[in-house]
Amino acid sequence: MNFQEVMALAKRRGILQPAYEPYGGVAGFLDYGPVGVRLRRKITELWRKHFVLGFGALEIDSALIGPEPLFRASGHLSEFDDLLVECLECNKLYRADLLVEGEGTLDRRILADAVAGKKCESCGGKFDVPRPFNLMFSTSLGAGRGTPGYLRPETAQGIFQAFPWLLRQNRGKLPLAAAQVGRAFRNEIAPRQGPLRLREFTQLELEHFFLPGAEPEIPKRLAKMEVRLVPVNGSAGTETIADLVKEDVIGSSLVASYIACAWKFITACGVPAGKLRFRQHGKHEMAHYSSECWDGEVETSTGWVEVVGIAHRSDYDLKAHGKASSREFRAPVPGTGKKINTWLPDKGAIGQKFKSEAASVLEQLVEGAAPGVEVGVSGTTHALGREYFRRVSATEPEMIYPHVVEPSFGLDRLLYCILETTWRSEGDRGWLALPEMLSPYYMLIAPLMARDGLDEKAREIHAAAMFDGVDVFYDEKGSIGRRYARADEIGISRACTVDYQTLEDKTVTIRDRDSTEQQRVSIDSIF
């Protein structure tokens, strides 16, 4: 199927459609329907298995709107708040700050003036007036003018700002993995291609924190995996993930772990391994925070679609939030705790002795002052003995900003890629060959015909299944073949058919979606 066919299927079968259809639609937003919601949940559950359970991640669900200082710290405010100019002749768009050489961030007005004197680099035409452009949606918090707020452009910042809390939840121990599923918002200039480029999208994200020098090893279950890599320099043969790290093709063992895990997960979603690759970002392509990045890409009719980015963000984010908030975002380095014995002034003793002069005395006691130190009080000099000090010992470990590796999935894109790559057709028959785990319903329940009590029996089985919490789909309309076809199109992996024999011996047939083969089994054994 090509893009249009996938979208037609998606709309016809209740997977997804453009949002706000009655109002002409708004580019970059989607509605997910009954089947789409189920598929998203199934994919998310499978992701949880691989990433949250696989790496013992702590899950959080952070707020969608954040205050301005948060995004100033994260760099999103400045990185996205560009001044754009357009050539009046050839309509090329440029970033004003890139046209004007020289020192980094210039004032808006200075930039605008500087650009006014420039001409288009490709055609020599004149420029339009520069216009500001910010990729974050802004809003205001509270009444009146309010305070500025922004819809988060990535779920990651929610994790980073909660790091001190999370670290405490983890009893101060690193490494620590935190995961979040949620929506993120980017005001794309030209959203296109439905679920592939949205203004509101869902991220499945994990942030794995560790101390530099104590980066987690590749788990045994992943080390021997082979994946298809497209490194920036040269090419990679078929080697295990572990060897690729040894040879420095992948610069980080944790990045390698997540590439392997992502490979497992994406192929478990039904995407053929032959249509999957991990491509390394070049320097210029990398985000402002990132030091190494690999994109997991799936080959589709529209080209290679990025479904996951695996980035080494170093200590960029925690450092930024630590500095901006002046809270502690560092973590102690184990084994570096030095026992430090110091003398602290005994304020009680000093106060009783020197009364109103006590404050002056304390002021004279610089850090490190010890018994025997001399202070001047009202023109005379006193030597302070032990009785004015307390012996205190403390253990102060070295504090350091943890580094972080982030695998971040775009759920909407992944769903699209799954739909396109799992589609199979044979003659008139077409079906989504979804893996069992992603089947939107556990099974189809259908009477062979809606008469002779077959329908009642089927409804009975359906009701019993629902009562037990088994998610099944009931259908009695049309010929049995048509109902199989309907179920096939949304990838329901099996069908239970109630026929005349069912009424006699309490058996039903179970039809497999991919092979269409049927087996007769007892009703009691189907759930």
Partner RNA sequence: GCGGGCGUAGUGUAGUCUGGUAUCACCGAGGCUUCCCAAGCCUCUAACCCGGGUUCGAAUCCCGGCGCCCGCACCA
Binding site for RNA (CB under 7 A): 3-4, 7-8, 11-12, 18, 24-28, 76, 79-80, 86, 91-95, 135-136, 153-154, 186, 188-194, 197, 285-290, 302, 309, 428-430, 448-451, 477-482, 484-486, 488-489, 497, 499-500, 508-509, 511, 516-518
330's tokens: 């560092």
Measured from the CB atom, the residue of 211 and 307 that comes closer to RNA is 307
In the complex, minimum distance from the CB of residue 98 to RNA, in angstroms, rounded to a whole number:
8
Amino acid sitting at position 65: I
Measured from the CB atom, the residue of 342 and 518 that comes closer to RNA is 518
In the complex, minimum distance from the CB of residue 333 to RNA, in angstroms, rounded to a whole number:
28
Instruction: Work out the number of other CB atoms within 10 angstroms of the CB of residue 11.
Output: 17
In the complex, minimum distance from the CB of residue 398 to RNA, in angstroms, rounded to a whole number:
30
In the complex, minimum distance from the CB of residue 100 to RNA, in angstroms, rounded to a whole number:
15
440 close to 39: Cβ distance less than 8 angstroms: yes
In the complex, minimum distance from the CB of residue 498 to RNA, in angstroms, rounded to a whole number:
7
In the complex, minimum distance from the CB of residue 474 to RNA, in angstroms, rounded to a whole number:
11
Measured from the CB atom, the residue of 157 and 350 that comes closer to RNA is 157
In the complex, minimum distance from the CB of residue 419 to RNA, in angstroms, rounded to a whole number:
14
Measured from the CB atom, the residue of 308 and 350 that comes closer to RNA is 308
Measured from the CB atom, the residue of 215 and 317 that comes closer to RNA is 317
29's tokens: 């937003």
Measured from the CB atom, the residue of 24 and 237 that comes closer to RNA is 24
At residue 264's C-alpha, the angle toward residues 260 and 268, to 5°, is 170
In whole angstroms, give the CA distance from residue 319 to residue 303.
Answer: 37
Measured from the CB atom, the residue of 336 and 501 that comes closer to RNA is 501
Question: Dihedral sign, CA of 409, 264, 512, 461?
Answer: negative
In the complex, minimum distance from the CB of residue 173 to RNA, in angstroms, rounded to a whole number:
28
In the complex, minimum distance from the CB of residue 93 to RNA, in angstroms, rounded to a whole number:
3
Reduced 3-state DSSP string for 196-210: HCCCEEEEEEEEEEE
Measured from the CB atom, the residue of 329 and 474 that comes closer to RNA is 474
Reduced 3-state DSSP string for 60-75: CCCCCEEEHHHHHHHC
446 close to 458: Cβ distance less than 8 angstroms: yes
What length does the chain have?
Answer: 527
Phi, psi of 193 (to 5 degrees): 55, 50
Reduced 3-state DSSP string for 321-346: HHHHHCCCCCEECCCCCEEEEEEEEC
In the complex, minimum distance from the CB of residue 422 to RNA, in angstroms, rounded to a whole number:
15
Half-sphere exposure of 354 (CA within 13 A, CB side): 23
Unique residue bearing structure tokens 């990679």: 236
Measured from the CB atom, the residue of 194 and 270 that comes closer to RNA is 194
Measured from the CB atom, the residue of 17 and 421 that comes closer to RNA is 17
Cα 420–chain centre separation:
22
Measuring CA to CA, which residue among 391, 444, 438 is closest to residue 418? 438
Exposure b/e, 283-316, CB count within 10 A at least 16 = b = eeeeeebbbbbbbbbbbbebebbbbbbbbbbbbb
Measured from the CB atom, the residue of 194 and 407 that comes closer to RNA is 194
In the complex, minimum distance from the CB of residue 201 to RNA, in angstroms, rounded to a whole number:
11
In the complex, minimum distance from the CB of residue 287 to RNA, in angstroms, rounded to a whole number:
3
In the complex, minimum distance from the CB of residue 163 to RNA, in angstroms, rounded to a whole number:
18
CA separation (Å) from 184 to 29, 62, 66, 516? 12, 11, 12, 41
Measured from the CB atom, the residue of 167 and 465 that comes closer to RNA is 465
In whole angstroms, give the CA distance from residue 414 to residue 269.
Answer: 9
Amino acid sitting at position 107: D
In whole angstroms, give the CA distance from residue 90 to residue 92.
Answer: 6
383's tokens: 């030597």
CA separation (Å) from 311 to 119, 183, 220, 292, 405? 37, 19, 22, 6, 6
Measured from the CB atom, the residue of 248 and 426 that comes closer to RNA is 426
